[in-house]
Chain A
Amino acid sequence: MISVKNLSKKYKKKLAVDNLSFNVTSGKVTGFLGPNGAGKSTTMRLMLGLDNGGGTTVFDNKPLHEYPEPSKIVGILLEAKAFHPTRTARNHLRVLAAAGGISDKRVDEVLDIVGLKDVARSKPGKFSLGMSQRLGIAAAILGEPKYLILDEPANGLDPEGIAWLRQFLKDYADKGNAVLVSSHLLSEMALMADNIVVIGKGKLISSTTVGKLISGDGKSNVFIRVDGNSKLERRLKSGKIDFEKINGGLMVSGVTTDELGLLAYDANVPVLELQLHAASLEDVFLEMTAGVQEYTAIGPEEAKKSKDKS
């Protein structure tokens, strides 16, 4: 497990990371979310000791610098294009392998895993963003580390690449490894991650499982269509349960499907349709980070008003 404790980082007067603590559990993929400028990349750099700041990060109760070969403990991808453009992909990885005490044989293995075997001897300066990401992932897994810290690894990947990455990270975590991955592709994160850490303006907003995050306290909206709405409406009103009439049925708030099904049964109302309307990760994320957006765009109407004013 990675334990992040009280991380903080100040740039002049701006607090980029503010007393941030969370855990990244082994055997799980943990999504790291936050609006632009929330401090995700800075947090990752602080965790790795690349930036100077307050707080500690321990990997299985030991800071990274206490491991003799850190490459075999944590694999990183913080920037897709972090390579010398004229050093071949294979040589780039050979350099990292030498630094981490890893055999050259593993270099060929990881190139095969990420699908870059055919361009192993090509200069990565001409690689697309997706290919660069694959090379970055190859670098991250080179030492078969127990922990992966990946910053936006899905950027630039094609749909096949994203699907591959999702499965790869899930499989990697299933082997008992911990994966921390940041992404702006929230739908992808919902499929990929088991746990989610949300930060805003450098502070922790939430650290929980994807399921709990989406369902809040576990009670989402449930749509029900019954034969005899009025009977059920009376029952809901007497139970002080919020609902709204919609599409010939009722959208009921704050209940589970089980609870509503039983309620309809008690009211002796035949159920024709019962459907959970869970919020998407995007809905929850936008709601959570509404007050902590560092940079917000304005719509065309507001832009026009602003232009007229000036």
Chain B
Amino acid sequence: MISSIKAELRKLFTVRSTYVIIIGCLLIIMLFAGYIEGVRASAASLTNRDLLSGESKSAVLFAGLILAFIGLMQMGHEYRYNTVMYTLTSSNKHLKPYFAKVAVIAVFSIVAGLFMTFFSPLCTIVGLKIGGHGPLIAQNFNYFTIIWRCVFCVWGYAMYAFILVAIIRSQIGAIVTYLLIPLMGENILGLLLKGNMKYLPFASLQTVPSPGMLPGSSPNQSALISSTYIVVGLAVGAYLFLRRDAN
């Protein structure tokens, strides 16, 4: 298992896409949190006690969605470039590389989520300084609550992306599905489900950092719903990974 994890780590950090996505996410955070909410902050923002915690949540909700492409590509590249045959024949159990991927993506997304949680408000603070705005009002920033919710959201996105590509086995197909489900699919379903929309996978995940997005949802309940989807999804992915031909 250690060998598989080491190989997955090398895969992650030896492809250009990993760095392109990370840089893309950082630029997005710097643009929104640093420039729009910082340099060009309105007077009302300065008196908002939840400004910085809000920045953390916004960062993970949006940049986390994009960062998850790294998780998607970790598996998607295997099928796109047919390297899955090497991955499978270098391990004595096919599930080892599967769970090594899950572990590497999970750790990576947790670290990235943690970084985003603090990088985004930091960008806002720096932006406010650059913009010459007055001092911020004392902020509500409950470290524990914000960290777990934000990190959970980034991890959840990464797992969803991974599960989709493990099931679909096409990188392009998984990217399209991954973007369509939260942006269109769940919104359309939400019209039918109304109050029960909180039980949908992406809706539940997004309400972990921002419970206000859907009435009647709580972060703990949403986390439980998302976790259920992830566990079931990973199990289905693992089953298919074993049962289907390599590619």
A: residues with CB less than 8 A from B are: 45, 48-52, 64-71, 74, 76, 78-79, 81-88, 91, 94-96, 98-101, 139
A68 near B92: Cβ-Cβ < 8 Å: yes
* A-B CB contact pairs (8 Å), 8 listed: A49-B88, A50-B88, A50-B246, A52-B245, A69-B3, A70-B92, A84-B77, A100-B3
> Given A65-B93, A100-B90, is A88 in contact with B14 using a C-beta cutoff of 8 Å?
yes
Chain A residue nearest to B96 (CB atoms) is A99
> Given A84-B77, A101-B3, is A71 in contact with B89 using a C-beta cutoff of 8 Å?
yes
- Among A66, A88, A94, A99, point to the contact of B86 (Cβ < 8 A): A99
Interface size class of B (residues with CB under 8 A): 20 to 34
Chain A residue nearest to B16 (CB atoms) is A86
How far is B81's CA from A150's CA once the two chains are assembled, in angstroms? 18
B92 near A95: Cβ-Cβ < 8 Å: no
Does B7 interact with chain A (Cβ within 8 Å)? yes
A99 near B93: Cβ-Cβ < 8 Å: no
Chain A residue nearest to B83 (CB atoms) is A82
How far is B91's CA from A49's CA once the two chains are assembled, in angstroms? 11
Chain B residue nearest to A136 (CB atoms) is B86
B15 near A84: Cβ-Cβ < 8 Å: yes
B86 near A76: Cβ-Cβ < 8 Å: yes
Chain B residues whose CB sits within 8 angstroms of the CB of A84 once the complex forms: 15, 77, 81, 83
The interface centre, meaning the residue of B9, B83, B87 with most chain A CB atoms within 10 A of its CB, is B83
Chain A residues whose CB sits within 8 angstroms of the CB of B245 once the complex forms: 45, 50-52
- Among B6, B89, B93, B247, point to the contact of A98 (Cβ < 8 A): B6
Q: Which of B226-247 contact A (CB under 8 A)?
A: 243-247
- Among A50, A76, A95, A100, point to the contact of B11 (Cβ < 8 A): A95
- Among B4, B10, B15, B243, point to the contact of A52 (Cβ < 8 A): B243
B: residues with CB less than 8 A from A are: 3-4, 6-7, 9-11, 14-17, 77, 81-83, 85-94, 97, 243-247
A137, chain B: closest CB distance, angstroms: 13
Chain A residues whose CB sits within 8 angstroms of the CB of B93 once the complex forms: 65
- Among B82, B89, B90, B247, point to the contact of A81 (Cβ < 8 A): B82
> Given A83-B83, A98-B3, is A51 in contact with B92 using a C-beta cutoff of 8 Å?
no
- Among B77, B83, B92, point to the contact of A65 (Cβ < 8 A): B92
Chain B residue nearest to A76 (CB atoms) is B89
The interface centre, meaning the residue of B6, B17, B85 with most chain A CB atoms within 10 A of its CB, is B85
> Given A76-B85, A76-B86, is A66 in contact with B14 using a C-beta cutoff of 8 Å?
no
> Given A48-B85, A79-B85, is A70 in contact with B14 using a C-beta cutoff of 8 Å?
no
> Given A65-B92, A81-B82, is A95 in contact with B10 using a C-beta cutoff of 8 Å?
yes
How far is B90's CA from A5's CA once the two chains are assembled, in angstroms? 22
- Among B11, B77, B82, B97, point to the contact of A79 (Cβ < 8 A): B82
B86 near A96: Cβ-Cβ < 8 Å: yes
- Among A51, A52, A71, point to the contact of B90 (Cβ < 8 A): A71
Chain A residue nearest to B2 (CB atoms) is A101
* New contact pairs (8) apart from A50-B88, A83-B81, A95-B14, CB-CB < 8 Å: A45-B245, A70-B90, A91-B10, A98-B6, A99-B3, A99-B97, A101-B3, A139-B86
B128, chain A: closest CB distance, angstroms: 39
Chain B residue nearest to A48 (CB atoms) is B89
A50 near B82: Cβ-Cβ < 8 Å: no
Chain A residues whose CB sits within 8 angstroms of the CB of B97 once the complex forms: 99
Chain B residues whose CB sits within 8 angstroms of the CB of A98 once the complex forms: 3, 6-7, 9-10
How far is B92's CA from A50's CA once the two chains are assembled, in angstroms? 12
> Given A86-B15, A87-B14, is A99 in contact with B82 using a C-beta cutoff of 8 Å?
no
B244 near A52: Cβ-Cβ < 8 Å: yes
- Among A74, A87, A91, point to the contact of B89 (Cβ < 8 A): A74
How far is B82's CA from A70's CA once the two chains are assembled, in angstroms? 19
How far is B86's CA from A76's CA once the two chains are assembled, in angstroms? 8
B246 near A51: Cβ-Cβ < 8 Å: yes
How far is B77's CA from A91's CA once the two chains are assembled, in angstroms? 15
How far is B86's CA from A95's CA once the two chains are assembled, in angstroms? 10
Chain B residues whose CB sits within 8 angstroms of the CB of A50 once the complex forms: 85, 88-89, 245-247
How far is B7's CA from A112's CA once the two chains are assembled, in angstroms? 22
How far is B13's CA from A94's CA once the two chains are assembled, in angstroms? 12
> Given A79-B82, A87-B15, A96-B86, is A70 in contact with B91 using a C-beta cutoff of 8 Å?
yes
> Given A45-B246, A91-B14, A94-B10, is A82 in contact with B81 using a C-beta cutoff of 8 Å?
yes
Chain B residue nearest to A91 (CB atoms) is B14
